[in-house]
């Protein structure tokens, strides 16, 4: 069992009409929970580390942990760097050390600069065959402490998406279509017509960010319209980790953190399993 590329996993998803969940982790417990759920459900999965998480754990440790968990649970996984902004050096280190997918997010810049940075990432990643996700339009909310206000968030223009893919050669495209990062204050309103139009004009799989709090039916509607990768982060961070620590720690005798760690593994695995079932990726391996 090994780390496989995003391109490979999403090609299978396209052929068989399902989406693959992409889940943020920032420690061994939540990474273990993600891989455990993938194995138990025979599902492809994308484990993703933000730049902040890579800074905490170190890219070499992340790669070894992902490889070893993939072997231990007998399941191939994608190891992905999420939202790499203004840190091409980190992206390069992740490629060099064995990440199988990276996201370059230069979506805050104008079109030309976004293309320039994304092309650099694509060129570099091609050395190892690592896949690259880019972003066009700008997804709002809070990601790794970076706040993008709703007025800064810009929906993806379908024609720009097509041009961006042709100009950069990305393997997957993150689009701004009504989701935001973090918990929603009001239910999200996905622009399904826009997703459909982007998909009609664009040859690569679309990526839906801000999966936390999106109703299951919205996911089910978006998948046939070309969304093949769905990112979920906050739900794992808050419900899978923080709330488990908060609620369970006081019940643990002798302050044994290992008992809390096991609960975190199980809660993360439970959350990932729920998503796998909604995305239709169970029993695909």
Four-CA torsion 191, 196, 199, 205, nearest 10 degrees: 60
Q: Is 233 in the site for ligand G3H (CB under 6 A)?
A: yes
Least Å distance, CB 91 to ligand G3H, is 15
Of 211, 226, 240, 280, the residue at the interface with ligand G3H (CB under 6 A) is: 211
> Using CB under 6 A as the criterion, what x/- string covers residues 95-124 for binding ligand G3H?
------------------------------
Q: Minimum Å distance from CB 233 to ligand G3H?
A: 3
Nearer Cβ to Zn ion (199/209) = 209
- Determine which residue in the list 83, 85, 138, 229 makes contact with ligand G3H, applying CB under 6 A: 83
CB neighbour list of residue 124: distance below 8 Å, 6 or more residues apart: 88, 91, 92, 95
Helix axis angle, 158-168 relative to 192-201, nearest 10°?
Answer: 40
Length reported for the chain: 285
Distance between CA atoms of residues 85 and 106, nearest Å: 6
Q: Which of 82, 167, 171, 218 is catalytic?
A: 82
Query: Which stretch in 30-38, 124-132, 154-162, 231-239 sits in contact with ligand G3H by CB under 6 A?
Result: 231-239
- Residue 82 CA to residue 35 CA, distance in Å, equals 17
Annotation marks residue 82 as catalytic: yes
Q: Of 34 and 75, which CB lies nearer to Zn ion in the complex structure?
A: 34
Work out how close the CB of 105 gets to ligand G3H at its nearest, in angstroms, rounded to a whole number.
Answer: 9
Which partner from the list Zn ion, ligand G3H, none does 30 bind, CB cut-off 5 to 8 Å by kind?
none
Which class for 191: exposed (0-12), middle (13-18), buried (19 or more C-beta within 10 A)? middle
Q: Which of Zn ion, ligand G3H, none lies near 232, with the C-beta cut-off 5 to 8 A by kind?
A: ligand G3H
3-state DSSP of 123-173: HHHCCCCCEEEEEECECEEEECCEEECCCCCECCCHHHHHHHHHHHCCCEE
Can you read off the two tokens belonging to residue 123? 């060129």
- The three state secondary structure string of 103-130 is EECCCCCCHHHHHHHHHHHHHHHCCCCC
Burial of 169 (0-12, 13-18, 19+ CB in 10 A): middle
Site for Zn ion in 223-262 (CB under 5 A): 231
| Residue among 32, 85, 119, 209 that touches Zn ion (CB under 5 A) | 209
Query: In Å, how far from its chain's centre is CA 166?
Result: 22
The count of residues interacting with ligand G3H (CB under 6 A) is: 14
User: In the bound complex, what is the minimum distance in angstroms from residue 54's beta carbon to ligand G3H?
Assistant: 13
**Which residues contact ligand G3H by CB under 6 A?**
24, 82-83, 181-182, 209-212, 231-235
| Active site (catalytic) residues | 82
**Which residues contact Zn ion by CB under 5 A?**
209, 231
């Amino acid at each position: 069992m090994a780390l496989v590329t995003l391109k490979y996993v999403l090609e299978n998803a396209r052929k068989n009409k399902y989406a693959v969940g992409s889940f943020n982790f920032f420690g061994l417990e939540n990474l273990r929970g993600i891989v455990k759920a993938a194995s138990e459900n025979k599902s492809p999965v994308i484990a993703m580390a933000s730049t902040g998480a890579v800074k905490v754990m170190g890219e070499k440790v992340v790669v070894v942990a992902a490889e070893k968990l993939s072997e231990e649970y007998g399941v191939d996984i994608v190891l992905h760097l999420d939202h790499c902004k203004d840190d091409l050096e980190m992206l390069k280190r992740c490629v060099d050390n064995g990440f199988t997918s990276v996201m370059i997010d230069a979506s805050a810049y104008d079109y030309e600069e976004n293309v320039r940075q994304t092309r650099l990432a694509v060129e570099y990643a091609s050395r190892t065959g690592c896949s690259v996700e880019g972003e066009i339009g700008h997804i709002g909310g809070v990601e790794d402490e970076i706040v993008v206000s709703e007025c800064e968030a810009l929906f993806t223009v379908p024609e720009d998406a097509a041009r961006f893919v042709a100009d950069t050669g990305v393997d997957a495209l993150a689009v701004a279509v009504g989701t935001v990062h973090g918990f929603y204050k009001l239910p999200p309103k996905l622009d399904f017509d826009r997703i459909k139009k982007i998909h009609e004009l664009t040859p690569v799989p679309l990526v839906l960010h801000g999966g936390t709090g999106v109703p299951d039916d919205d996911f089910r509607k978006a998948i046939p319209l070309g969304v093949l990768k769905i990112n979920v982060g906050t739900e794992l961070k808050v419900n899978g980790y923080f709330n488990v620590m908060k609620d369970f720690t006081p019940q643990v005798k002798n302050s044994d953190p290992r008992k809390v760690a096991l609960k975190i593994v199980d809660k993360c695995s439970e959350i990932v399993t729920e998503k796998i079932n909604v995305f239709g990726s169970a029993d695909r391996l």
